[in-house]
Amino acid sequence: MTMRKYIIPIQIIVVMATLTFSVYAEAPKERFTNSLGMAFVLVKPGKFIMGSPEDEPGRYSGEIPHPVNLTNPFYLQTTEVTQGQWQSLMNENPSSNKGCGDTCPVEQVSWDDVQNFIQKLNQKEGTNKYRLPTEAEWEYACRAGSRKAFSNGGIAELDCGKDANLVSWAGIAATQTTGFTP
């Protein structure tokens, strides 16, 4: 069986494992940049309704709205993983749109490719904090406090060419231990 390649820009998330900091530990920074130039912003914990309403276009039957409480903050990369970042770490660029340049999102990567990227990123950074986000972390970040499908509104049409909100992207996250300061 061959592994299918997907056209999915990858976004990096750094997740903090706990909010418990001693009085001597530094509070998490609002932003940080790692050694590959990946910029991250802190996403504070909170509550939201995960899932989608029955009348939302493209909804799957299993997307039943339910409350979720994320108790730990996490860091989200401010852009997708770029072709330049992927090339720098993996020594190759699998993207079909290489002419777009180093700042364009990497694409044509499989889940296994992403796992290898994460492993190498952890090694390079001397940590084990990077990983794919949970579905709840990802949906919370995408909604950014909105009750709609996306932070900038709902789904108007199911044709990606007509609805700017319909994009396909995935994330990578990193677990952070108590008192970690990037």
181 in any annotated domain: no
Establish how many alpha carbons lie within 13 A of residue 118's alpha carbon, considering only the half-sphere containing its beta carbon.
23
Question: Per-residue pLDDT for the chain (182 aa), expressed as one digit of tens each?
Answer: 455 444 445 555 554 433 333 334 567 788 889 998 988 888 899 999 898 888 877 778 888 999 999 998 888 788 888 999 999 999 999 999 888 899 988 999 988 998 899 899 999 999 888 877 778 888 888 877 776 666 666 666 555 554 444 444 334 444 333 223 33
124 in any annotated domain: yes
Give pLDDT tens digits for 114-147.
889 989 999 999 988 887 777 888 888 887 777 6
The DSSP 8-state label assigned to residue 24 in this structure reads: T
User: Domain containing 129: what range?
Assistant: 10-176
3 in any annotated domain: no
* Dihedral sign from CA coordinates of 97, 114, 146, 66: positive
5 in any annotated domain: no
Which two structure tokens, joined as six digits, stand for 148?
């709609």
Task: Indicate which CATH number applies to the domain containing 17.
Answer: 3.90.1580.10
71 in any annotated domain: yes
Please tell me the total count of domains within the chain. 1
- Pairwise CA distance, residues 40 & 37, whole Å: 10
